[in-house]
A and B are shown apart, each in its own frame.
Chain A
Amino acid sequence: MAEEKNTEVSVPELGKTAEERPKWDNKVQYLLTCIGFAVGLGNVWRFPYLCQTYGGGAFLIPYIIALIFEGIPLLHMELAIGQRLRQGSIGVWNSISPFLGGVGIGSLIVSFLVGLFYNTILAWVLWYFFHSFQDPLPWRDCPLNQNKTGYIEECAKSTPVNYFWYRETLNVTPNITDNGDLQWWMVICLASAWGIVYICFIRGIETIGKAVYVTATFPYLVLTIFLIRALTLPGATEGLVYLFTPKVQVLKDPKVWLDAATQIFFSLSLAFGGLIAFSSYNPQKNNCERDAVIVGVINSATSIYASIPIFAILGFKATSNYNDCLDGNILSITNAFNIGDQNVTRENYDSWLKHLNTTHSQELEDLHLKHCNLQEFLDQSASGTGLAFIVFTEAVIKMPGSQVWAVLFFVMLFSLGLSSMFGNLEGILTPLLDLHVVPKWLPKEAFTGLICLISFLFALIFTMGSGNYWLEIFNNYVGSLPLLIIAFFEIISVVYIYGIGRFSDDIEWMTGRRPNLYWQATWRVISPGMLLVVFLAYIVVQVQQPATYAAWNPNYINFPMTEALDYPGWVFAICILLSSVPCIFIPIVALYRFIQWIMRRVHQSQNRNPCENHAYEPELQ
């Protein structure tokens, strides 16, 4: 009965004389691609930080609740609608209603903009990867200054790791208005990143499907290796205890729930159009419900799994720093009071200190001993690029066999990011292919090459001296608010415009089972409600925060602390533009279609000839 259903939605014609719609070689490819798209850099460097900031094990509660009530329903909806309508994001929303075409265009623009800066991060990862083959690692020691009498001042004041990141990698300018030049080494790293992306993306899902066998599975292998190694490092248990100790009172803070919901939403890469594109290449009779649950659960499980080695290693780093601090103090005491060498050890340090405080308290004060506190070092965690390129690289130096660990770590980051890039680019390619904007004579290889080339040229902004600041702007303003808006419109369209009844029928036809109460409840009320609340809360939080950025300025008084500068007016205008341009297409397209509809009604009511039958047009017309 379902086969002959008369749908009013235009399903694209099959059996064109040109190629049919491409399809996945097997189900595994499809699942790995979706998992690879969802599992990205954020799983490794954002989730562990959130977990640690928001009370360790207790954070898992809002996280899992958000997954169940927001993440998986939205995921299922996107996969189902793409699979049913067999088109990319623009085509799908156009099919549901031409007034909604703007949603697809918004997804396209967001995918493009996110792809620009995401691949730049991969270029940075490549740069570190290239440098991981040196012995010793270049971020271990400060370079010598001109006349070889000491270390470069900027490096001596901060740390070699910071210097390598801010000066030798980014060559960052002191503020965003100072553009600096294009850094040639960054340009060639960016070119190689785009080259690698192109080689995997060159024929669309045909080549992506092969590439994901490696890029989606390799990170798990590396994480396991790191897990085994990390658990044997001294201080690992401190790090893990610190991470997972639940502080349940943190749950009273609404910010925790907001961050859990946003983390789930962004982690699953919803609203990019990539998931819709991937599922549109599926055969229609495919169990998308099970796929959605699998992808959602694996994504969250990966986040939790990744946080274990990360925090073991951070615990190791904190312990090393703490020991170094203690050793520095011990040396000062030994030298000042001429105590025998190695008589003061880490174990009896406290008793010595007490003893000296009673006898020579003034001299002890004059030494200005550093206050060494393990908790403080553990608190120095970071998220984002700071975790990967500063904190983790510092930890890697202290591990024996640093080069191996550095290479493994950066290759893992690269493959995590690469599989996410595939989703971004498919979110651009599939809608354009479905809109038939590509001329027939242009081979697919050339079109994908064109997309990569244009993206590369735009991404050159991020290779300038101020590139890092611009990347932060893109990350904060493009990859956040527009996605929430687009996702909200997506679910409202599917549930209320396409019709939840029709959608449930479609899913029953595709999977053989009607969606149960859980799906009905979440799709109709809970998920849109949560999205709305998250969106409003996000805006409230953003408005309250001052629009500042952290600048690396060697001439700053409190250097090596970063300087908090305000965004200049024109930069802030660009931020607002970046947030609003993808969303503005939704009302623009709706308005455009509305005007078209009105024009057509007016035109039709004026001249309607009911006897005109166009089926019998003579040939020579």
Chain B
Amino acid sequence: MLSRVLLSLSLVPALALAVCQPDGQDAYKVRLSIKTALGANAYEWNESEQFLFRATLAFAMRKYTGQETFNVSSVIVCNETQRVSFWFVVTNPNDTATLIPKNAVEEAIRLSRNRINSAFLLSDKTLQFLGIPPTLAPPSQPSLPVWLIVFGVVMGIVTTGILALIISGFIQRKKKDIEDEDEEEKQERIMENGILCETLEGKEGVNNGAYSHDEDRLTQL
């Protein structure tokens, strides 16, 4: 009796190892980059951390399926490397020989991804489940695009500036017109030689055809 119990007990881990196969149909590879994420505060990856991992995964399965039968022993880990990376499978708590299918495991992990990450102080990038893409955070879209606000401010300033300059120019011109009118009224009309000086003012003198050279006003080529 005792020998049979001993035999079956020794077979269990062997069975477990046989169930967890790298590249297996229902197995997932996990990769952790603790030093990259935490730098100086990085913790050592040991058996206890492994235990925590299996426990969180069991928690995820419980949450997803609603069955509270999943246990740490349901999660089997193998092929651990120095990287730190390993493969794991989840066995059915009712029948330890069968495995939970890949999709179910994926959905469970997706559901509790945040909790799993926080348990290890890691992120989607540093705790990778190969085959499960990280969820992309949609960029926040404010109600009114920021650039339109800046544009509105700039255009507002420019428009008020233009209006101010136009109006001030207009007022200046009106003032000058009034001043000019006053000046004109005061001026007497000057006469010289029977011809009003004003009529001559506009001309640069008059070209007397008899007394000018042809090309005086043009530079000789």
The answer to whether A133 and B147 have CB atoms under 8 Å apart is: yes
**Can you name the residue of chain B whose Cβ is closest to the Cβ of A189?**
B151
Contacts of A611 in B (CB 8 A): 210
Any B CB within 8 A of the CB of A435: no
Q: Decide if B199 touches A497 in the complex (CB within 8 Å).
A: no
**B159 lies within 8 A of A8 (CB):** no
- A4 CB-CB contact with B under 8 Å: no
B119 part of interface (Cβ distance < 8 Å): no
- A19–B115 CA distance with the chains assembled, in angstroms: 79
Give complex CA distance A609, B208 in Å. Answer: 10
Instruction: Of the listed stretches A194-202, A480-488, A505-513, name the one at the interface; the rest are far from the partner chain.
Output: A194-202
Of B32, B165, B208, the contact of A445 (CB 8 Å cutoff): B165
The CA of A497 and the CA of B217, in the complex, are separated in Å by: 14
Q: Please indicate the chain B residues that have their CB under 8 angstroms from the CB of A20 in the complex.
A: none
Contact present for B204 and A445 (CB under 8 Å)? no
Cα separation A335 to B85 with both chains bound (whole Å): 9
Across the interface, name the chain A residue whose C-beta is closest to B158: A195
Q: Does A144 contact B (CB under 8 A)?
A: yes
B155 partner, pick from A13, A134, A192, A198, beta carbons under 8 A: A192
CB-CB contacts below 8 Å: B181-221 with A:
195-196, 199, 204, 206-210, 214, 216-219, 221
A252 within 8 A of B: no
Most-contacted residue by chain B among A96, A195, A601 (CB, 10 A): A195
Q: Does A458 contact B (CB under 8 A)?
A: no
**With A195-B158, A198-B162 as contacts: A339 and B83 at CB distance below 8 Å:** yes
CB-based contact B139/A141 at 8 Å: yes
Residue A347 at the chain B interface, CB threshold 8 Å: no
List which A567-621 residues lie within 8 A (CB) of chain B.
Answer: 601, 604, 608-615, 619
Report chain B residues within 8 Å CB of A615: 206, 208
Contacts of B33 in A (CB 8 A): 341-342
Q: For chain A, residues 3 to 32, give those with C-beta under 8 angstroms from any C-beta of chain B.
A: 8-10, 13
**A338 CA to B79 CA, complexed, in Å:** 11
Contacting residues, chain A, for B139 (C-beta < 8 A): 141, 143-144
User: Complex formed: what's the CA distance from A611 to B208 in Å?
Assistant: 9
Mask: chain A, 104-139; 1 = CB below 8 Å from B; 0 = not: 000000000000000000000011011101100000
- Pairwise interchain contact B209-A202, C-beta atoms closer than 8 A: no
User: With A133-B147, A443-B169, A619-B195 in contact, is A608–B218 under 8 Å at CB?
Assistant: no
Q: Is the CB of B158 within 8 A of A196?
A: yes
Closest to A334 in B: B83
Number of A-B residue pairs with CB-CB distance less than 8 Å in the complex they form: 116
A362 to chain B, nearest CB (A): 19
Q: What sequence of 0s and 1s flags, for each residue 318-355 of chain A, a beta carbon within 8 Å of any chain B beta carbon? A: 00000000000000001100111110000000000000
Q: Is B147 within 8 A of A340, CB to CB?
A: no
A414-436 contact mask (Cβ, 8 Å, vs B): 1 or 0: 00000000000000000000000
- A169 to B: closest C-beta gap in Å: 11
Chain B residues with CB under 8 A of A196: 154, 158
A579 to B15, CA, bound (A): 84
Chain A nearest CB from B184 CB (Å) reads: 10
- A523 interface residue per 8 A CB criterion: no
- A384 interface residue (CB < 8 Å to B): no
| A144-B199 in contact (CB<8A) | no
Identify the closest chain B residue to A141 (Cβ): B139
Interface residue A203 (Cβ < 8 Å from any Cβ of B)? yes
User: Shortest Cβ distance from B30 into chain A, in angstroms?
Assistant: 12
A338→B36 contact, CB < 8 A: no
Q: Which of B150, B158, B210, B221 contacts A497 (CB 8 A)?
A: B221
A residues in contact with B210, CB < 8 Å: 610-613
| A195 with B83, Cβ < 8 A, contacts A133-B147, A203-B169 known | no
Contact between A199 and B158 (Cβ–Cβ < 8 Å)? yes
What is the chain B residue whose CB lies nearest that of A196? Answer: B158
Chain A residues with CB below 8 A from B195, complex form: 619
CA distance A349 to B6 in the complex (A): 50
Look across to chain B and name the residue whose beta carbon is closest to the beta carbon of A601: B214
A444 to B166, CA, bound (A): 10
Within the complex, the shortest CB–CB distance from A13 to chain B, in Å, comes to 7
Encoded as 1 (CB less than 8 Å from any B CB) or 0, chain A from 358 to 382 comes to 0000000000000000000000000
Question: Which A143-180 residues sit within 8 Å CB-CB of chain B?
Answer: 143-144, 148-150
Per the bound structure, the CA–CA distance linking A141 and B173 in Å amounts to 54
The answer to whether A498 has its CB under 8 Å from any CB of chain B is yes
Of A134, A338, A342, A443, which is within 8 A of B147 by CB? A134
B36 and A445 form a contact (CB under 8 A): no
From B36, B82, B83, name the one whose CB has the most chain A CB atoms within 10 angstroms: B83
Contact at B147–A341, with CB atoms within 8 Å? no
Q: A192-B154, A199-B158, A613-B210 are in contact. Are A144 and B136 (CB under 8 A)?
A: yes
Q: Could you tell me if A130 and B147 are in contact, using CB atoms closer than 8 angstroms?
A: yes
**Nearest CB in chain B to that of A597: its residue:** B218
Give B26-45 as 1s and 0s: 1 = Cβ < 8 Å from A's Cβ atoms.
00000111111000000000
- Looking at the assembled complex, report how far the CB atom of A208 sits from the nearest CB atom of chain B, in whole angstroms: 12
Within 8 A of B (CB), among A433-453: 443-445
**Do A338 and B83 form a contact, CB below 8 Å, given A144-B136, A192-B155?**
yes
Given contacts A127-B147, A134-B147, 12 further A-B contacts (CB under 8 A): A13-B204, A97-B219, A144-B136, A192-B155, A195-B158, A195-B159, A199-B158, A199-B162, A338-B81, A340-B83, A341-B32, A613-B208
User: A-contacting residues of B (Cβ < 8 Å)?
Assistant: 31-36, 81-85, 136, 138-139, 146-148, 150-151, 154-155, 158-159, 161-162, 165-166, 169-170, 173, 195-196, 199, 204, 206-210, 214, 216-219, 221
| Residues in chain A within 8 A of chain B (CB atoms) | 8-10, 13, 96-99, 126-127, 129-131, 133-134, 141, 143-144, 148-150, 188-189, 192, 195-196, 198-199, 202-203, 207, 334-335, 338-342, 443-445, 497-498, 601, 604, 608-615, 619
A-B contact pairs, 14 of them (CB 8 A): A126-B154, A130-B147, A133-B150, A148-B136, A192-B151, A195-B162, A334-B83, A338-B82, A338-B85, A340-B83, A445-B169, A614-B208, A614-B209, A615-B208
